[in-house]
Amino acid sequence: MKSWPYSDAKPLFSSVSREEEEKIQEETSATIRVIPVVVLDDSAAAAPLADALAEAGLPCAEITLRTAAGAAAIGIMAQRRNLLVGAGTVLDAGQAEHAAQAGARFIVSPGFDEEVVRRCQELSVPVLPGAATATEIQRARRAGLRVVKFFPAETLGGVGALDALSAPFPDMRFVPTGGIGPANLQPYLARSVVLAVGGSWMVPRQLIADRDWAQVTRLARDAARLAAQSGPPPPPVPAPLATGSPGERTEPAPRERSQAS
Ligand code: 3PG
C-alpha cells in the first residue's frame, strides 16, 4: 500500500503537484507511518544507513541538520530511488532552501516558522512544522497547512494531550514525535488524526557511530511491523482551496477509526 506521505498526507503538507506526488508514489512502495529521525555524525554512514532502512521496509529518513554531516548525507540518500529522504531541524528559510537543493523531499522544523513554511511552499516542498500549542496549530492552519509535527509529544502529555489539542481542529492531521518508541507507538497510530509518528529509537546515534547496521535493520523492521499492525493511516483531508483564505475552510470531523487491526 502506498500512503504516507504520498497519497494521503502529501496534499496536506503544502502545494505539491499531482505529478510530483505520483512520481514519489512510484518510487516508494511501502506505507510509511514511522519516520526515522536521524542524527548523523559522518556522511559516510548515509549509504549503509539507507540500505539498512530500505531492507527493513522503512524506506524513509528525516536527516537532521543538527550536525555538519547532515546536508551531505541528504545528498547521498537522495540518490536512492527506494528511499524518501527529508531534512529535519530546519530552523530558517535558507536551510530549507539548501536542504531542498541537496535533494530533501520534505522539510521538518521543531517549531512553526512562517518564513520556513513560505519558502517551502514556494519551492513546492512538503513542510512539516512543529506545533505544541493550539495557537501554533492555528497558525500552521492559517498558513495553508493541514499537517503538523506534534512535538515533543510525550513531554506535552502524550496521546491525552494530542486528543485534547486536536479536537478543535477536525481538518488537521498530526505526526507526533518526541519520546515515542516501540512501547507507545501504537496508541498514537490508532488515533484518527495521526498520519505517522517520528522518532529516533530505531536509529540511535551510537548504533550509527558503531556501524551496527544489522541492529538498525532489526529495530527498523520491528518499527515497521508494529506500524503495520496499527492499520492504514486516516483518509486524506483535501488541501486548502487555491483561492480565498485557506484558514476559512473547514473540513468534516474525521470519523473515529475502528479498532486498529
Ligand atoms: C526530533 O527531532 O524529532 C526528536 O528529537 C526525536 O525525538 P526522539 O529522539 O525522542 O525520538
Q: Which residue's CA lies nearest to atom 4 of ligand 1? A: 178
What is the position in ligand 1's atom list of the atom closest to the CA of 108? 3
Q: What is the dihedral of CA 82, 122, 98, 143, to 10 degrees?
A: -90
Q: Does any ligand 1 atom lie closer than 6 A to the CB of residue 177?
A: yes
Sign of CA dihedral 223, 225, 227, 232: positive
Mean local confidence (pLDDT), 187-214: 96
133-181 pLDDT per residue, tens:
999 999 999 999 999 999 999 999 999 999 999 999 999 999 999 999 9
Bridge partners of 62?
37, 86
pLDDT tens readout for residues 186-196: 999 999 999 99
Question: Which domains are delineated in the chain?
Answer: 10-234 (3.20.20.70)
Query: b/e map of 200-227 (b: 16 or more CB within 10 Å)?
Result: bbbbbeebbeeeebeebbebbbbbbebb
- 152 CA → ligand 1 middle, Å: 8
pLDDT value, residue 236: 65
Indicate whether 257 pLDDT > 60.
Answer: no
DSSP letters, 239-254, are: PPPSSS-GGG--PPPP
| Atom nearest to 200 CA in ligand 1 | 11
Q: Are 83 and 104 in contact (CB under 8 A)?
A: no
**CA of residue 198 to ligand 1 center, whole Å:** 7
What's the mean pLDDT when you consider all of the chain? 84
Indicate the top mutation candidate among 35, 63, 177 to test ligand 1's pocket, ranked by most ligand atoms within 8 A of CB. 177
Evaluate: CB of 179 within 6 angstroms of ligand 1.
Answer: yes
- Measured between alpha carbons, how far is 63 from 46 in angstroms, rounded to an integer? 9
Residues belonging to the active site: 62, 149
pLDDT at residue 233, rounded to an integer: 80
pLDDT digits over 80-93, tens only? 988 999 999 999 99
Which ligand 1 atom is nearest residue 149's CA? 3
Is residue 66 a contact partner of residue 74, using CB atoms and an 8 Å limit?
A: no
Query: Nearest-CA neighbor of 233 among 47, 33, 18, 62?
Result: 33
Cβ proximity of 166 and 188 under 8 Å: no
Q: What is the CA radius of gyration of the chain?
A: 17
The H or E element spanning position 87 is: strand 84-88
